[in-house]
């Protein structure tokens, strides 16, 4: 396959035990599920880009967030090493948003520039009460993981076409104000890393009531609807952020039989 086209590698970096209604708005109350946290690596002609850096360790998660399993092999450093990548060689880390399960472990990327939507960074400083814990704001003695790398953060405002060749940044607000997805034009087809705009495949597939179902945790449902419309317009295959389905293939595009 030509090295000119980007490839996407999803890596398992933790497993949450979570109320399904947290992910699927107004459905499945009382149902608990296991949901993976996924860190993506995009390789563009040898250049390494990471999208989201996963959750903290189990102890911290249990204390502030909820049950999380992170086996040694799921540590982001080990996960990267398993595909022959050293965190020091990662040039860019795109943070889809600044919730704890997407941006912990930032500190291990010493040489990377972190890309965040400006609106997301602004919001993370003073989130509303409902989302405060998600940003790890207001826990005594806890420095939020995104604060630890503030000097390395470079903000963007709005969509960025060809951030790297064939890799586009797209705003998908709703779950958070500055949620950012990544659209990747691979040799075969377009894939969209939709982050928590689409946590599970069924959020995107919808049901008999809604064509697409928002995340249970959201800040703006009108913006969310527009983000779904934007995803529809883009076409391509949406990769869900917390669904084992996304991990069925070790690389995208995958070889079809
Ligand atoms: Zn989130």
In this prediction, residue 256 carries a pLDDT of: 79
* Listed residue (202, 18, 187, 175) closest to 97, CA to CA: 175
Q: In angstroms, what is the span from residue 255 Cα to ligand 1's centroid?
A: 31
- Fold held by 7-248: Metallo-beta-lactamase; Chain A (3.60.15)
Rounded distance from Cα 173 to ligand 1 centre (Å): 11
Q: How far is the CA of 33 from the centre of ligand 1 (A)?
A: 16
How many angstroms is it from 175 CA to the middle of ligand 1? 7
CA of 54 to the centre of ligand 1 (A): 11
Per-residue pLDDT reduced to its tens digit, 220-234: 999 999 999 999 999
What pairs with residue 8 in β-bridges? 42, 252
Cα 242 to averaged position of ligand 1 atoms, centre (Å): 10
Measured in angstroms, how far is the CA atom of residue 1 from the centroid of ligand 1?
A: 34
Q: How far is the CA of 46 from the centre of ligand 1 (A)?
A: 29
How remote is the CA of residue 3 from the centroid of ligand 1, in Å?
32
Q: Which residues surround ligand 1, an ion (CB under 5 A)?
A: 99, 196
* β partners of residue 252: 8
pTM tops 0.95, yes or no = yes
Residue 199 alpha carbon to ligand 1 centre in Å: 9
Low-confidence ranges of the chain (pLDDT < 70): 1-3, 257
What's the pLDDT score for residue 257?
64
What is the Å distance from ligand 1's center to 20 Cα?
A: 14
Q: Where are the domains of the chain?
A: 7-248
Instruction: Give the distance (Å) from ligand 1 centre to CA of residue 196.
Output: 5
């Amino acid at each position: 396959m030509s090295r000119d086209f980007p490839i996407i590698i999803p890596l398992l970096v933790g497993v949450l035990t979570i109320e399904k209604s947290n992910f699927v708005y107004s459905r499945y109350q009382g149902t608990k599920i296991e949901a993976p946290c996924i860190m993506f690596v995009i390789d563009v002609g040898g250049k390494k880009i990471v999208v989201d850096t996963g959750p903290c360790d189990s102890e911290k998660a249990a204390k502030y967030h909820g049950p999380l399993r992170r086996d040694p092999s799921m540590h982001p450093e080990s996960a990267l090493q398993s595909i022959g990548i050293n965190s020091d060689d990662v040039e860019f880390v795109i943070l889809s948003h600044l919730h704890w399960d997407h941006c912990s472990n930032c500190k291990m990327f010493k040489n990377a520039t972190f890309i965040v939507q400006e609106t997301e960074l602004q919001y993370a400083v003073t989130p509303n009460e409902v989302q405060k814990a998600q940003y790890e704001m207001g826990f005594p003695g806890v420095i939020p993981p995104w604060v630890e790398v503030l000097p390395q953060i470079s903000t963007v405002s709005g969509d960025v076409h060809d951030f790297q060749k064939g890799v586009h940044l797209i705003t998908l607000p709703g779950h958070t104000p500055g949620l950012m997805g990544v659209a990747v034009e691979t040799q075969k087809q377009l894939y969209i890393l939709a982050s928590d705009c689409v946590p599970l495949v069924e959020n995107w597939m919808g049901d008999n009531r809604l064509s697409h179902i928002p995340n249970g945790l959201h800040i703006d449902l009108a913006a969310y609807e527009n983000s779904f419309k934007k995803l529809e317009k883009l076409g391509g295959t949406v990769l869900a952020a917390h669904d084992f389905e996304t991990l069925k293939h070790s690389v995208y595009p995958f070889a079809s039989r």
